Structure 1
Amino acid sequence: MTGHLVKRSLRLAGHGTSIALEPAFWAALEEEAARRAMPLAALIAEQDATRTDAAEPLTSRLRVFALECARGAARG
């Protein structure tokens, strides 16, 4: 995984925001969005809504989610 971050802008809950993740995490999220036949922004909004700890950064939630998706795909 490369160390540089890729920043993307989108709207969550009606507000503009930017998210910076490593390219490998973006790729995993895009693959999961495609698997679910939903836009990437909708997948991110879904993950934003699942955070139960208000102190949990969205980027951390997205990285954990991407890892969970990759592990699930590896298991078949």
Structure 2
Amino acid sequence: MITKRSLSIQGHRTSISIEDAFWHQLRSIAEREQSSLSQLVARIDADRAPTTNLSSALRLFVLTDVTARIPEGDVKNSGMP
């Protein structure tokens, strides 16, 4: 389910709409990196292309993180390019 969530990024409030599964992964990544969720989202926000909305940038970040941790042979067998 897509849920609208509010958080502060560098002192200003913003809302994002993102699926629960992606939100949980973002929280796990922040914990693994010993960072707050707001800090992680601020970093992703700063690095995203101007034409990419924040919710999409967050999803792409999670996808990149997850696929980077899958052994190479498993990625090839998963149907991903």
Is this a same-fold pair by TM over 0.5? yes
The normalised TM-score by structure 2 is 0.80
| 4+ runs deviating over 6 angstroms | none
Unaligned runs of 5+ in 2: 73-81
Residue 74 of structure 1: how far off its partner (Å):
2.3
Q: How many residues align?
A: 72
Identical aligned residues as a percent:
39
Q: For the residues of structure 2 that align with 1:29 and 1:73, how far apart are their CA atoms? A: 14
Highest relative contact order (Cα 8 Å, sep 6+), 1 or 2? Answer: 1
1:62 and 2:58 are equivalent in the alignment:
yes
CA contact (8 A) 1:30 1:40 kept: yes
RMSD of aligned residue pairs (Cα, Å): 1.5
Specify the SS of the correspondent of 2:70. Answer: helix
Q: For the residues of structure 1 that align with 2:71 and 2:64, how far apart are their CA atoms? A: 11
Residue 13 of structure 1: how far off its partner (Å):
2.9
Residue 62 of structure 1: how far off its partner (Å):
0.4
Structure label with greater radius of gyration: 2
The normalised TM-score by structure 1 is 0.84
